[in-house]
Amino acid sequence: MSAKLLDGKGISKEIQKETKVKVEQFIADHGQPPVLAAVLVGDDPASQVYVRNKERACARAGIESQLHRLPATSTTEDILAKVIELNETPKVNGILVQLPLPEQADSRVILDAIDPQKDVDAFHPHNVGLISQGRPQFLPCTPHGIVQMLKRCGLETTGKSVCVIGRSDIVGKPMAMMLGQKNSNLGPEMANATVTLCHSRTQNLASIAQQADILIAAIGRPNFVTPDMIKPGAVVVDVGINRTDQGLVGDVDFDSGKEVAGFITPVPGGVGPLTVTMLLENTLMAAMIQSKPIV
Ligand code: NAD
């Protein structure tokens, strides 16, 4: 058996086209484009690539992007000053601080300082709280993209058993929260799952994973998920991006995994493009929220 590929790249293009149309309408209504400000601290090569990809995607969608570079030696206070400046700049609708930050900077303090209305990564406790209560303002880009992809491929989550491996604040935890809710921004069929959140201390992980109709791996370990961990016919979503001597690989052993799974995302070309795409959607959403009349 060979799994069907979930074409994140193609779906991203489709969503970006839709976003572009909505951005054009926003510009027609408000006379200016949504604006995303990225803060890049230091010169980590992977972060430079991610930020460049985000800038290019913004340009394609008609969203204005700003890049604020700070030196690798920046302190928490230096980065905070930049975030506060951007919070107070009305023209800026969305702020993203590219992670990871240099060791001396306190990421938690910095992310907490972003205005929740401009928090397009949805990392602020205010936004995380809203997600946990099932009434999100913004959804974190990677889980948001995964739900979009599943929906557009006709893969509903309601009533399904889902195993999420990895409990990061960026991917695993919000993914588990979102799929376990009663409803989603795409309707109840893209929520209402029975979710198991696995992590580094989980016992019998392989057998838990093997029972899942939908398996989402966000671990950061190359080829961690092997065929014995996949239920035959399951939907396998590979979030991992691991740089190895063999090039970029995911958290799922793709070649053997695709023989068991029913659907599988490739790496690259799966979840990655969707993450950038949902950042555009969130920036547009931020601009719309901020342009609403105050009542
Ligand atoms: P993280 O390092 O913050 O968290 C990893 C999680 O994996 C932890 O919760 C940990 O408990 C779990 N884990 C580690 N070892 C484990 C083990 N042996 N068994 C079970 N669980 C284990 O990671 P993250 O930020 O969520 O990123 C995970 C991966 O996804 C990385 O490869 C990252 O590069 C990638 N990523 C991709 C995208 C994308 O757009 N495709 C976005 C974000 C992250």
Tell me which of 36-40, 46-50, 71-75, 148-152 is least confident: 46-50
Distance in angstroms (rounded) separating the CA atoms of residues 136 and 142: 15
Q: 192-234 pLDDT, tens per residue? A: 999 999 999 999 999 999 999 999 999 999 999 999 999 999 9
The one-letter code for the residue type at 120 is V
CATH value at residue 160 = 3.40.50.720
CATH value at residue 55 = 3.40.50.10860
To which residue do tokens 């303002």 refer?
137
Asked if the model's pLDDT at residue 293 lies above 60, the reply is no
Ligand 1 mutation target, pool 163, 219, 237, 241, most atoms within 8 A of CB: 219
122 Cα to the center of ligand 1, angstroms: 17
Q: CA-CA distances (angstroms) from residue 166 to 52, 116, 190, 204, 251?
A: 27, 25, 20, 15, 11
Count of domains forming the chain: 2
Give exposure, 245-257, as e/b (b: 16+ Cβ within 10 Å): eeeebbbbbbeeb
Distance in angstroms (rounded) separating the CA atoms of residues 261 and 235: 6
Q: What order of strands is seen across the sheet that includes strand 64-70?
A: 64-70, 35-41, 94-97
111 Cα to the center of ligand 1, angstroms: 19
Question: For residue 150, what are the domain limits?
Answer: 140-271
Q: Is 25 a catalytic residue?
A: no
Q: Is 54 a catalytic residue?
A: yes
- Domain membership of residue 193 (yes or no) is yes
Asked if the model's pLDDT at residue 114 lies above 70, the reply is yes
166 Cα to the center of ligand 1, angstroms: 5
Question: Residue 242 CA: which ligand 1 atom is closest?
Answer: 32
**What does residue 36 show for φ and ψ, rounded to 5 degrees?**
-110, 130
Question: What's the helix, strand, coil split of the chain in %, to 5?
Answer: 45, 15, 40
Q: 3-34 pLDDT, tens per residue? A: 999 999 999 999 999 999 999 999 999 999 99
Catalytic residue among 119, 121, 213, 238: 121
* 148 and 111 both lie in a single domain: no
- Domain membership of residue 6 (yes or no) is no
